[in-house]
Amino acid sequence: MKAIPDVFVVGGGFAGLQAVKALTRRRPRARITLVDSNPYATMLPALPDVLSGRINRNALIRPFNEIISPRRVRVLTDEVTSVDAPRRTIYGRQQSYRYDYLILTSGSTPRYYGFAPLKGQLHSVHSYGAANALRNAVVEQVRSTARCSLVVVGAGYTGLEVAASLHHGLAPNGVQFQITVIEVADEILPFLKPTERQAAREFFGSIGVDLRSGVSLQRYADGTAELSDGTRVENALVCWAAGMQAECHNLTGTVERTEDGRLGTNDYLQLPAHPEVFVAGDAADLHKGDRSVRRAVNFAYYSGRTAGRNVAARLAGRPLRAFRPVDLGWVIPLGGISWGRIFGGIPVGGRFGLRLHYAMAGFRHFGAADAVEFYKTAFNLSRRPDPILP
């Protein structure tokens, strides 16, 4: 190994930033480099609020140079296209990089299951740019078309949040906007109690959202969405929220992957065949016991911290620590209502759940000034600092 090893962190989300912070706190004798396709970090859990107007969009991103000291960490804006683990090389659009240790925290991208529109664009809210593109498309459609429609594919957390957020954002303007949410499974949110699922259906019915289960998108072209139940939705935008897959940049080497592309690691978050490569966040198949955990900020945050600490330990010749996920819970914010479980299963909901969601987003934010924006919304759910329409 070189006198001063090179440690690369690929991906600047929750896991990547925690890995970098864990490394810099331990001040290892190493060059630390963070590579991301954007020059900023994104508050991913709040991206559906691009459509609600409840959060100023400027508070959803934070430049890396305002989070990380450039004297201690080199930040490169480059799109990583592949990683060759045997050669310890990262290939980007701009150049290639050699590493001694790699922490892969590259997150997730939408999973399309082979579907592609014949003509037109499938929107999503998986990134700041994508969420803004959907918002701009909605505004353009409202201003140019008498009858406006959005078809949301997938009735999981994200799909339902998109539908509720858009309704919340457009309701004050009295805009007639048809929102249809389709789910290929027979039931929505199967992890909720039957009474809660029924309450969710009733809530969406009360705000005029057409929620259909057992239905898929068959065809999309020229603004017309054709559904498997024979329905044709005209003048439609489509937002894809039917699933995610790990973005692991064509990793070459001996690796195990889950069906959705997450990488199998040992207890210390290393690739077993390539122990100089650590994986955290959505890119890793994180386990609690014998079960994979869901994609969540909490698991990304703490797995990134563990990966950073373990690389620092390797550099110092100290023992590594196993990652043991702790599930702090979840909340699904749906405009005017919510459902969730915290601390091992305690149910939360209603406006209290909404306030908790925004308060926790503020607590986990990358910058204090931007965190205040979330705290303001937690205390005043009716505020709209960034209305989708003037």
Summarize pLDDT for 321-338 with one digit per residue, the tens: 999 999 999 999 998 899
State how far the alpha carbon of 241 is from the alpha carbons of 14, 46, 337, in Å.
21, 15, 20
Domains of the chain (ranges, CATH numbers): 6-37+78-110+244-327 (3.50.50.60), 113-242 (3.50.50.60)
Asked whether 370 and 62 are in contact (CB, 8 A), the reply is yes
Strands 80-84 and 251-252: parallel
176-201 burial string, b = 16+ CB within 10 Å, else e?
ebbbbbbbeeeebbeebeeeebeebb
Query: What pLDDT score does 164 carry?
Result: 97
Single-letter code of the amino acid located at 382: S
Asked whether 311 and 7 are in contact (CB, 8 A), the reply is yes
Asked whether 277 and 85 are in contact (CB, 8 A), the reply is yes
The C-alpha atoms of residue 159 and residue 48 are separated, in whole angstroms, by: 9
* pTM (predicted TM-score): 0.95
Query: What pLDDT score does 117 carry?
Result: 93
Note down pLDDT in tens along the chain; length 390 residues: 678 999 999 999 999 999 999 999 988 789 999 999 999 999 999 999 999 999 999 999 999 999 999 889 999 999 999 999 999 999 999 999 999 999 999 999 999 999 999 988 999 999 999 999 999 999 999 998 778 899 999 999 999 999 999 999 999 988 889 999 999 999 999 999 999 999 999 999 999 999 999 999 999 998 999 999 999 999 999 999 999 999 976 899 999 999 999 999 999 999 999 999 999 999 999 999 889 999 999 999 999 999 999 999 999 999 999 999 999 999 999 988 999 999 878 999 999 999 999 999 999 999 888 999 999 999 999 999 999 998
**Structure token pair of residue 64:** 């890396």
Q: Is the dihedral of CA 265, 269, 273, 274 positive or negative?
A: positive
Summarize pLDDT for 264-284 with one digit per residue, the tens: 999 999 999 999 999 999 999
Asked whether 252 and 197 are in contact (CB, 8 A), the reply is no
Query: What pLDDT score does 1 carry?
Result: 61
Single-letter code of the amino acid located at 118: L
